Amino acid sequence: MGDDLMRKSSLTLNAVCITLLWAGAGYAQSYQGRTGTRSTHPVESEAEAGSSEPAEGCPPVFKQRFPATGQTTSYVAGDDGDIRAGAPLRYQDNGDGTITDLNTKLMWEKKDQASGLHNWDNTYPWQGTCLNRPTKFCGTDADCSSGGTCFVPGGKMTIFQWVAQLNIPPCFANHCDWRIPNVRELQSIVDYQTYFPAVDTAFNNNCTPGCITCNLGCTVDGANHTTECSCTQPSGPSKGYYWTGSTYAPSPIVLPRGSVLAWGVLFGDGDVLSAGKTDHDYVRAVRCGLVDKRAR
């Protein structure tokens, strides 16, 4: 009798521990009696529940995998290079100026050394100001009331005006849904096994600063159908800093306040940093992934 009680108590404790582990991993469990069915389902926040779906014309969500960091060198037992958690980094050059991440299924714009919208030397600010209301910040003209124009000094474009150019029919690589990546998406292509730049060779192959004819072993660019290399800036005027669409949350201890800062990735070494939205930095477009289908 005593042994049976201890055994039942042990089983109950194990069940509680398993339930807590599942809950900690973001899952909830429901039971129907001692021998009934058990179901497991994701726990979502109110903002996430039922709002995001795969982008049209993109691979289904169940084929997505969380990528590893790329680090394979181990310095101590149990470190990232030893464990190598996540799916190994794998990319596909589509031969049309785009690269597909075979883990996340995100499709990335290839930066090149040709003149035009995809040139790896081009830099843009995150935001401009409305000409009809100079105190109003904007990404595109749509942010300015009464038909106002979103203005950037020097004839430049914001990153949002730039990506809109890629979506003018027939559109870059025949896709009209290019967007600015969020900070987690952009960091997913960092390869922490290397540096300067910290990316796989799919994103940096045979690129030489100041050279526009170094195309040996490179593929076709989707914009003008010429053979161009795949490039990532490790330094340059913006020190390899690439914008994301993610804003730095307002903070009373950071000046200037968060509303005028945005997140980006420094591809020299893989740092994630914030910068002022009027700074001129690099940018790389992305498409696919989960997108919010709620009406805006």
Which of 60-74, 143-157, 235-249 is least confident?
Answer: 60-74
Decide if pLDDT at 285 tops 90.
yes
State whether 24 and 57 are in the same domain: no
pLDDT in tens, 113-166: 888 899 999 999 999 999 988 889 999 999 998 888 999 999 899 999 999 999
Decide if pLDDT at 184 tops 80.
yes
pLDDT in tens, 91-114: 999 989 999 999 999 999 999 888
Which of 25-34, 89-98, 194-203, 279-288 is least confident?
Answer: 25-34
> Phi, psi (5° rounding) for residue 258?
-55, -30
Task: Average the pLDDT over 253-272 and give the result.
Answer: 86
State whether 39 and 55 are in the same domain: no
Give the model's confidence band at 225: pLDDT under 50 very low, under 70 low, under 90 confident, else very high. Answer: low
Task: Average the pLDDT over 20-48 and give the result.
Answer: 39
**Encoded tokens for 187:** 């960091």
Which pLDDT does position 212 carry in this prediction?
Answer: 60
State whether 87 and 224 are in the same domain: yes
State whether 84 and 207 are in the same domain: yes
Decide if pLDDT at 183 tops 70.
yes
Give the model's confidence band at 40: pLDDT under 50 very low, under 70 low, under 90 confident, else very high. Answer: very low
Decide if pLDDT at 216 tops 80.
no
What are the helix (H) ranges across the chain? 2-24, 80-83, 159-166, 183-187
State whether 112 and 182 are in the same domain: yes
Decide if pLDDT at 83 tops 80.
yes
Task: Average the pLDDT over 240-247 and give the result.
Answer: 96
**Encoded tokens for 168:** 């003018």
Which of 56-70, 157-171, 210-224 is least confident?
Answer: 210-224
> Phi, psi (5° rounding) for residue 194?
-130, 180
State whether 150 and 218 are in the same domain: yes
Decide if pLDDT at 76 tops 70.
yes
Contact 30, 38 (CB under 8 A): yes
State whether 160 and 219 are in the same domain: yes
State whether 33 and 143 are in the same domain: no
Instruction: State pTM to two decimals.
Output: 0.79
State whether 14 and 100 are in the same domain: no
Higher-confidence residue of 62 and 25: namely 62
Higher-confidence residue of 102 and 56: namely 102
Which pLDDT does position 64 carry in this prediction?
Answer: 79
Mean pLDDT, the chain, rounded, equals 81
Decide if pLDDT at 219 tops 60.
yes
Which pLDDT does position 80 carry in this prediction?
Answer: 94
Which pLDDT does position 257 carry in this prediction?
Answer: 64
Decide if pLDDT at 25 tops 80.
no
Say how many domains are in the chain. 2
State whether 101 and 195 are in the same domain: yes
State whether 126 and 263 are in the same domain: yes
Decide if pLDDT at 18 tops 80.
no
State whether 4 and 60 are in the same domain: no
Residue range(s) defining the domain that contains residue 71: 51-292
